[in-house]
Structures are given as C-alpha cells and as structure tokens.
C-alpha cells in the first residue's frame, strides 16, 4: 500500500521531477553507456532467456533493489516498495541483456554471462552517477512512462486488460504495469471510464502534458534519434545489402566508377574509405586496384555485420591491400596526416557531418584530398508515382506527428559544403551526381528505403512497438498490390545527389 496522497500534490511533485533540466543529460548518459531501457526495440525479438539466466536476473535485480532502499534514495514521487524496485531492475537488466545479445552476437538466447555483463554495465553507470542507482530509477520512469502514455495517446483508448498485458507497447516484465497504472491514475494522468466497449483507459489533459514533456526529454537527449538509428542497424544487420542496394539503385556502380575516375587516385596512394559498408566502393568498383602495386586502402565501417561481410569478401577475393577497421566517421581511430585521399560514399548523411568531415580532414596528409558523395538534399521518394500512392499511410502518420515525411533523406542544402569549409579544406568543388532509384522490385525497395535506409525511422520510432510491426506488414502487402497495378515508368525516378571534394592545406 502506498501512503495516501492527494492526486494534486502527487502530480506537482512528479511534474517538478520531470522538468528537472538534468534529466536530458541523464537519459543521454544512460543510453550511450549501454543502459538500454528501450522496450520498444525488442518487441519483435522475443529471445529465449535460459532458466539459469532468468534466475540470475531475479537475483541481481533483488540485490540492486535492496541497495536502493537501503540508501533511501528512491524516486521521490512516492516510496517505491522493494518488490516494485526488484521488478524495475529486472526489467532494466532484461532489456540490456536482450539488447546486447541481439545487436552484438548471433546467439539465439540470453545466457547467464549476458546477465552478468548487463549487471556490470549497469553498476558502472550507477557508480559514476551522483544519484547512484537512483539514476537508473529516474531514467526508467522517463522511458517506460513515455511508452505507456504514448500508447494511450496513440490508440485513444485501451482496455485495462490490454494495457496491463503490455502486448501493444511493453512486451515483457508486465509485473510493474499495475503499479504504474495506479500511479498514473493517482496523478490524474489516466482515467478509466465506461464506454460502449466497457471500461476503457484514456489519457487526461494532464497525461498529455506529461507525455509531451517526456517526449521533449527523449527528443533533446537524442534518445528518439538513437532508437531510429537502432532500427537502421537492425535491418543492415540482416539484409543482403549488396543485392538490395544494386536492385534499388541499379546504376550505382557505374556512378561510383565515374566518381572515382574524377578523383586524383594514383598507384601507391594510401586511401581511406569511411562507411565502406560491404565494400561496394573499395572492392566491387575496384578502388583497391587503382592504388596498386604499393598502395593501401583502409575501410572504416561501424556496423559489425557489414564490417564482417566486407572482411570475408576481401579474403574470398584475395584482395591484397585492404584493411577493415570497425569505427565511426566521427571518431576515427587513426593517426593524423596518414592518407593521400579520404572518401565517403552515401555515408555522411548518416553522420554528424561536421565532426565526420573534420575527422576525415585530420587523417588526410597536407595537400591530400577529402571527397564525398551524398544523396540529394530534400530527396523525396514520393516523386516516384508508385511510391507516393504506396506509402501514403506513412506520409499521413508523419503529418499527424508533425514530422517531415522522411528523415536523413540527405543533408540540408549547403551543409556538406559548409562542413568542408569549416574543416579548413581548400579548393572545394561541388558537382551533381545523378542516380536512378527504382521500386520495380518492390520488396527490395521496401527493405532498403522503408526499413533500412531509415528515411522513416523517426516516424516509426514514435509508434507503440506492436503498431510499428503491423504497419510495416500492412505496407509490405500494400506494395505488392500497388506494384501489380503500376506501369514500370511510374516506378523509377532520377535523383541528383551531390559530389564534393576539397584539399587539406599544405601548411
């Protein structure tokens, strides 16, 4: 039993807490340090948790809960019972273990070692936080409350049973939901009322207000963008990238060869390719051959799966002068002034472009070249008539959320050139890079543009997870029907991307 408190005072204490300006950086620190609480990420991936791992999760969670109550540093909305805290830590550890296994291994189940890894990560995070373990409790209440209230906003109404089962928005560790619902109701965020369909839960104006505040925290901390990115990594991990890319952008290799022809590549050069993917540029279109006999290519790629595929391709084809390094463009683990030429094709729109270009310039020798190709700014795939019709539901959803139809379609006009100037590159030149995009193979198009290239992930990231899964299934089917009724001319479009180069000053 929680002490009786007036809903008004509970609400004002809660409001004071969620408007604490430190929450934004706390949430950022949490997800960047591997304290992943995103229930939403795992919905589709119901990995088995071994019995040993399950009891380890319970034991570790109980231990953490007892430490929180022992120090009397609970989330101060109301005293949290140790049972509640145990469930909370179990939810967090489960989420973290699932996430690591899913993203960093090919294992099919969560084992005890994964739980220990999650526990160590969580402890390390809490040890550095002034609020200690209570920082985890705070972060939890931002992220999971967002999921709960967002589901109610999205669906309009939910029956108590549906809400408590968590099927639409919180796939596991449901034990907490009853307690949280009681809290939301006591705070006046959610109300249960009789409708034609029985007792239904709905969001009250206060609930909307709190939800908007939570959304703002997730937005400002970068958590929503992080979610969107995770979806991209997820599909990049599983799709046959080479086949899909070549299918939807059929002239991509030819366009890349034309781009390479314009670069001052010479035998003996040291070349860096950033965001090399599975090696379309450095291997397939022959960048490696252009610097033989003495030259070397280093290929940097952050995705484990893509880097592994590239490594395997390089071995299989006996490429003698290619080295793969797993890293991000914004943080290159390479010495200054090492390369004669550094390039990135179809990558910089995924990065923090200023940081990435600064890094590319840093590792390039004085007098050396930095070059890139990016998709068009403001690229809108609805210019393909079939796609405009096909993706209308997604388009409407983006409107409803007040979001642009696509994100990461390209960089805003002029931003890449500005980044080159800011990195003090000289002789900067920009020219158009045309390319054909086709939805003739609608499955490949859907995999690449909707699921993978992440043009819609910001919209999808705001859906309760079950709804996201359903929407994607619906769109896939809709694509099939529309493809049958569309002529091939209505499935293609030529886009003009941007190619750029600049030179590192000699002094």
Ligand X SMILES: C[S@@+](CC[C@H](N)C(=O)[O-])C[C@H]1O[C@@H](n2cnc3c(N)ncnc32)[C@H](O)[C@@H]1O
| Chain positions contacting ligand X, by CB under 6 A | 236, 245, 274-277, 280-281, 301-303, 306, 328-330, 345-347, 350-351
Under 8 Å between Cβ of 54 and 114: no
Under 8 Å between Cβ of 142 and 214: yes
Closest residue to bound ligand X by CB: 277
Residue closer to ligand X, measured from CB, 88 or 346: 346
Give the count of beta carbons closer than 10 Å to the beta carbon of residue 225: 16
Minimum gap (Å) between residue 196 Cβ and ligand X = 49
Minimum gap (Å) between residue 453 Cβ and ligand X = 7
Residue closer to ligand X, measured from CB, 152 or 344: 344
Length of the chain: 507
> 213: which residues sit within 8 A by CB, 6+ positions away?
15, 18, 19
Minimum gap (Å) between residue 178 Cβ and ligand X = 40
Under 8 Å between Cβ of 144 and 180: yes
Minimum gap (Å) between residue 317 Cβ and ligand X = 16
Residue closer to ligand X, measured from CB, 84 or 350: 350
The two three-digit tokens of residue 276, written as one number: 């090399």
Residue closer to ligand X, measured from CB, 148 or 498: 498
> DSSP characters for 50-93?
-HHHHHHHHHHHHHHHHHHHHTT---TTSPPPHHHHHHHHHHHH
Minimum gap (Å) between residue 417 Cβ and ligand X = 19
> 405: which residues sit within 8 A by CB, 6+ positions away?
380, 382, 394, 395, 398, 456
Minimum gap (Å) between residue 140 Cβ and ligand X = 28
Residue closer to ligand X, measured from CB, 59 or 251: 251
| Terminal alpha carbon distance of the chain | 72
Residue closer to ligand X, measured from CB, 88 or 310: 310
Beta strands in 296-439 (DSSP E): 296-300, 322-325, 339-345, 364-374, 426-438
Minimum gap (Å) between residue 222 Cβ and ligand X = 13
Residue closer to ligand X, measured from CB, 327 or 389: 327
Residue closer to ligand X, measured from CB, 50 or 326: 326
Reported as half-sphere exposure (CB side, CA atoms, 13 A), residue 195 has a value of 13
Find the angle CA(489)-CA(492)-CA(494) to the nearest 5 degrees.
125
Give the C-alpha separation, 420 to 358, whole Å: 8
Backbone angles phi, psi at 18, to 5 degrees: -75, -10
Minimum gap (Å) between residue 303 Cβ and ligand X = 4
- The DSSP output letter for 134 is H
Residue closer to ligand X, measured from CB, 116 or 289: 289
Minimum gap (Å) between residue 223 Cβ and ligand X = 17
């Amino acid at each position: 039993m929680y002490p009786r408190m007036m809903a008004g005072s509970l609400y004002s204490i809660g409001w004071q807490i969620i408007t604490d300006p430190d929450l934004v950086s706390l949430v950022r620190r949490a997800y960047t340090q591997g304290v992943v609480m995103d229930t939403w990420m795992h919905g589709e991936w119901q990995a088995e948790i071994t019995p040993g791992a399950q009891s380890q999760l319970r034991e570790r969670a109980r231990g953490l809960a007892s430490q929180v109550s022992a120090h009397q540093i609970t989330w101060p909305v109301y005293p949290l019972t140790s049972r509640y805290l145990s469930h909370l830590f179990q939810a967090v550890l489960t989420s973290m273990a699932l996430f690591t296994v899913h993203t960093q291994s090919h294992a099919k189940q969560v084992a005890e070692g994964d739980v220990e890894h999650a526990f160590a990560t969580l402890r390390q995070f809490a040890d550095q936080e002034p609020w200690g373990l209570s920082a985890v409790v705070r972060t939890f209440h931002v992220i999971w409350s967002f999921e709960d209230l967002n589901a109610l906003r999205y669906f309009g109404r939910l029956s108590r049973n549906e809400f408590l089962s968590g099927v639409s928005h919180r796939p596991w560790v449901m034990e907490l939901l009853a307690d949280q619902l009681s809290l939301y109701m006591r705070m006046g965020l959610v109300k249960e009322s009789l409708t034609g369909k029985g007792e239904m839960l709905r969001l009250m104006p206060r609930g909307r207000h709190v939800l908007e505040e939570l959304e703002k925290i997730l937005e400002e901390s970068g958590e929503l963008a992080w979610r969107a990115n995770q979806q991209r990594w997820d599909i990049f991990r599983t799709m046959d990238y080479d086949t899909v890319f070549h299918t939807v952008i059929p002239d991509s290799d030819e366009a890349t060869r034309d781009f390479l022809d314009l670069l001052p590549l010479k035998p003996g050069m040291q070349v860096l390719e950033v965001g090399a993917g599975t090696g379309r540029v450095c291997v397939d279109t022959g960048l490696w051959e252009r610097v033989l006999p003495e030259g070397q290519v280093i290929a940097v790629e952050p995705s484990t799966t893509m880097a592994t595929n590239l490594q395997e391709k390089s071995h299989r084809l006996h490429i003698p002068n290619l080295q793969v390094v797993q890293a991000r463009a914004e943080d290159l683990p390479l010495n200054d002034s090492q390369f004669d030429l550094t390039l990135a094709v179809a990558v910089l729109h995924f990065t923090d472009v200023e940081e990435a270009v600064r890094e590319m310039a840093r590792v390039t020798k004085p007098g050396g070249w930095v070059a890139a190709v990016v998709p068009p700014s403001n690229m809108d795939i609805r210019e393909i008539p079939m796609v405009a019709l096909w993706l209308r539901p997604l388009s409407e959803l983006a409107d409803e959320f007040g979001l642009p139809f696509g994100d990461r379609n390209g960089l805003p006009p002029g931003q890449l050139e500005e980044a080159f100037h800011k990195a003090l590159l000289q002789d900067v030149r920009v020219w158009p890079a045309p390319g054909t995009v086709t939805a003739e193979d609608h499955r490949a198009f859907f995999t690449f543009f909707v699921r993978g290239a992440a043009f819609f992930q910001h919209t999808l990231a705001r859906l309760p997870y079950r709804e996201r899964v359903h929407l994607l299934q619906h769109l896939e089917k809709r694509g099939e029907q529309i493809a049958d009724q569309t002529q091939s001319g209505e499935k293609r479009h030529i886009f003009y991307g941007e190619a750029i180069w600049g030179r590192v000053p000699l002094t």
